[in-house]
């Protein structure tokens, strides 16, 4: 196999070194986004757009590289929020040569005469708002890669909602192109404007301005920290065991069904960076409490779905994990739909305060061919009594875990 060359164009072909220009000139196959391929209209090689499924396209390259010189074009530096790591993962490091170039961050800071060794760089391209929320309040400039779902105007609104109204906000459009434009403005001005899709945002907080400190979200929040209705909340100790049984990980999708006030989903957000939680609650008042709790703690990857399960589940993305904390008479149908929709290696956790719910959960999972584990949790909490301390028992709860294949932890 002839090594596949991955060439970073910088901001445009004008940034290419003579060596990289020659590699592209000799290529028999050019692969890249349509915008990058359009830079080479006279090139005689086969041109393959990466499109919306780049991994599938890259898997075709070994057969081509067996007999042809293949070049993958990348914008900026292929290894900085670029296609380089994906090419290496698909083809194997031993079959790839990467040629770095200028990044949009380097170019932006050069245009602004701004040092960037203390800058924070975050990409929202194909990612969630939580990645931006996580870096607010850090010292130094903030440089943000955008995408159509996170344009400058929406970023400005995101900052304004978090009290950063005095920050200096710069949009650098079409860097390295004839239409290049650099505009400084306030977040309030930026939220009302449209910009070129090819842009980078720079945010410079005013001295002394920081993102308002929100209450700290952590595992095991006391019930009093969350708005909830008449004690309808999964107790902190139960939450801890349920989250452990869910075995959450980065990038996963979690359904929190019968979410109540959203306590489990909120704490789960700490365990699935880059993932998404759908908190499903049929009662509008409780759904409003979930939204209020989410906003109170600044959780950006939890979506509230106010609708009855299991009917509404058909419109949700395929989950990796499902927590069932409520459901009433519909719990059997909810679990049936849960196991039908779960991704491979998925897991469902059900909490039951009633013997009938325990029986239904076990039976439904076993009938579906799932392995079942049951944990009975009895919690007692201390309280003052007669000048001393006594223990007061909470209602026992059963935690039912369903999974396919080997036992949890095996």
- Find tokens 């006391």 and name the residue: 222
Q: What is the pLDDT of residue 206?
A: 79
CB 271, CB 248: distance < 8 Å = yes
Domains and CATH numbers, the chain: 4-102 (3.40.1010.10), 105-204 (3.30.950.10), 223-403 (3.40.50.150)
CB 194, CB 256: distance < 8 Å = no
Q: How would you write 96-109 as a 3-class SS string?
A: EEEECCCCHHHHHH
**Per-residue pLDDT tens for 261-296?**
999 999 999 999 889 999 999 999 899 999 988 988
End-to-end CA distance of the chain: 40
Q: What is the pLDDT of residue 210?
A: 52
* Residue 297 banded pLDDT, cuts 50, 70, 90: confident
**Per-residue pLDDT tens for 206-259?**
765 555 555 788 999 888 888 888 778 999 999 999 999 999 999 999 999 999
Q: What is the pLDDT of residue 205?
A: 86
Q: What is the pLDDT of residue 161?
A: 82
- Measured at the CA of 273, the angle between CA 271 and CA 278, to 5 degrees, comes to 80
**Per-residue pLDDT tens for 144-181?**
999 998 999 999 998 888 888 889 999 999 999 999 99
Q: What is the pLDDT of residue 405?
A: 61
**Per-residue pLDDT tens for 357-400?**
999 999 999 999 999 999 999 999 898 888 899 999 989 999 99
Task: Give the residue-averaged pLDDT of 28-55.
Answer: 93
Average pLDDT of every residue of the chain = 91
Q: Is the peptide bond before 16 cis (omega within 30 degrees of 0)?
A: no
* Residue 328 banded pLDDT, cuts 50, 70, 90: confident
Q: Helices 331-341 and 355-367: crossing angle, nearest 10°?
A: 30
* Residue 410 banded pLDDT, cuts 50, 70, 90: very low
Which residues are within 8 A (CB) of 281 and not within 5 positions of it... i.e. 6 or more apart?
258, 259, 260, 262, 287, 290, 304, 305, 306
The number of CA neighbours under 13 Å toward the Cβ of 3 is 12
In 3-state terms, what secondary structure has residue 288? helix
How many residues in total does the chain contain? Answer: 410
Q: What is the pLDDT of residue 132?
A: 85
H helices of 138-220, in order, are 152-160, 187-190
Q: What is the pLDDT of residue 406?
A: 53
Q: What is the pLDDT of residue 408?
A: 45
CB 261, CB 304: distance < 8 Å = no
Q: What is the pLDDT of residue 378?
A: 93
Q: What is the pLDDT of residue 409?
A: 47
Task: Give the residue-averaged pLDDT of 117-136.
Answer: 85
Instruction: Classify residue 136 as exposed, middle or buried by CB count within 10 Å of its CB (0-12, 13-18, 19+).
Output: buried
CB 202, CB 141: distance < 8 Å = yes
């Amino acid at each position: 196999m002839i090594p596949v060359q991955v060439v970073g164009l910088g901001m445009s072909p004008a940034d290419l070194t003579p060596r990289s220009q020659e590699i592209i000139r000799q290529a028999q196959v050019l692969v890249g986004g349509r915008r990058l391929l359009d830079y080479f209209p006279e090139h005689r090689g086969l041109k393959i757009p990466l499109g919306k499924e780049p991994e599938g396209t890259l898997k075709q390259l070994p057969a081509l590289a067996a007999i042809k010189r293949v070049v993958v074009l990348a914008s900026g530096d292929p290894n900085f929020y670029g296609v380089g790591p994906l090419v290496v993962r698909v083809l194997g490091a031993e079959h790839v040569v990467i040629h770095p170039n200028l990044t949009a961050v380097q170019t932006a800071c050069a245009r602004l005469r701004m040092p960037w060794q203390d800058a924070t760089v975050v990409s929202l391209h194909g990612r969630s708002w939580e990645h931006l929320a996580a870096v607010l309040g850090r010292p130094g400039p903030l440089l943000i890669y955008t995408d159509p779902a996170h344009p400058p105007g929406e970023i400005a609104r995101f900052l304004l909602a978090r009290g950063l109204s005095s920050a200096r906000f710069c949009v650098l459009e079409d860097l390295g192109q004839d239409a290049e434009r650099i505009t400084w403005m306030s977040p309030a001005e930026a939220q009302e404007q449209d910009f070129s899709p090819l842009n980078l945002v720079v945010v410079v907080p005013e001295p002394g301005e920081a993102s308002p400190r929100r209450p700290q979200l952590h595992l095991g929040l006391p019930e009093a920290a969350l708005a909830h209705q008449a004690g309808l909340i999964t107790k902190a100790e139960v939450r801890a065991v349920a989250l452990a049984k869910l075995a959450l990980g980065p990038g996963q999708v979690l359904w929190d069904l019968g979410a109540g006030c959203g306590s489990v989903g909120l704490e789960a957000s700490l365990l699935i960076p880059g993932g998404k939680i759908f908190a499903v609650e049929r009662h509008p008042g409780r759904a409003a409490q979930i939204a209020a709790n989410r906003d109170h703690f600044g959780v950006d990857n939890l979506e509230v779905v106010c609708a009855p399960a299991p009917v509404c589940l058909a419109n949700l993305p395929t989950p990796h994990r499902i927590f069932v904390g409520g459901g009433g008479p519909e719990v059997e149908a909810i679990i049936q739909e849960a196991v039908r929709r779960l991704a491979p290696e998925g897991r469902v956790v059900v909490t039951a305060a009633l013997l009938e719910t325990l029986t239904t959960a076990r039976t439904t999972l076993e009938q579906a061919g799932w392995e079942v584990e049951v944990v009975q949790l009895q919690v007692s909490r201390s309280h003052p009594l007669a000048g001393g301390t006594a223990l007061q028992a909470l209602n026992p709860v059963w935690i039912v875990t369903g999974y396919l294949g080997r036992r949890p932890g095996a």
